[in-house]
Amino acid sequence: MNPVPRLLAITLVLCAATGALAAAADASQAAGRCESEVADTIKRMRGKDVAGVQFTAAARTLSPTVEDEIGVRGEGRYRRGSNSVGFAYSCSYNAATGATSGVVFREDERTAAAAAAPWQPDLTHVSPEACESAVAAVLKDRHPRVGRIVFGSESRRLQPAANARIGLQGKGAVQPAPGMNALPFDYRCEIDPRNGRVLQAQASE
């Protein structure tokens, strides 16, 4: 039996397997590099409020274009404040150089509009005094001989917090003990807007 055809067949099979592995590696690299570049682009264009950029693997498609280029398209979501914004994206990946180009993302108009809208918290049950009382209790635990605690009402700032809570932050000064110099501090509370309960209080000197 002539062994040449058999060796040739084995060689062709190995070449095909090697090519398939290389193609799979290129596809994985293309998806990873493009999605990383898309995430960076979103953060750069939408600012520091963007967090948690995620991509939907089931919606991802890859297609070869010209020469060593691979086109990547897909969908994802990111958080901006307390809102979730959906988007679609496209990108090109060069398998020879590892470079990406042509990054484009398009946001879902409805979710993007909600994220861009001004934050309007429900302050019906929110009391700055309750927050400051909780912060004072933290400082008294830290300084058992505390002299005075002063809060600067003009420094109060509201901001969105996790799980639809309201964050209240500000500045003040604490006298650790009578006769000592007052130390400035920053404070922050997380408040449940449904009932005004202070869920967390922190102070840093």
Residues 138 and 203: their CA atoms lie apart, in Å, by: 7
Residues 12 and 74: their CA atoms lie apart, in Å, by: 34
The conformation of residue 57, written as its DSSP 8-state character, comes to: G
**Token digits of residue 6:** 């058999």
Residues 93 and 66: their CA atoms lie apart, in Å, by: 11
Q: Are 77 and 69 in contact (CB under 8 A)?
A: no
Q: Are 152 and 171 in contact (CB under 8 A)?
A: yes
Q: By three-state DSSP, how is residue 18 classified?
A: helix
Per-residue pLDDT of the chain (205 residues; tens, 9 = 90+): 555 455 444 444 333 333 333 345 577 799 999 999 999 998 888 777 788 899 999 999 998 877 778 999 999 998 877 678 889 999 999 988 989 988 998 888 776 665 555 667 888 889 999 999 999 999 999 999 999 999 998 889 988 888 888 999 999 999 999 999 999 999 999 999 999 999 999 999 9
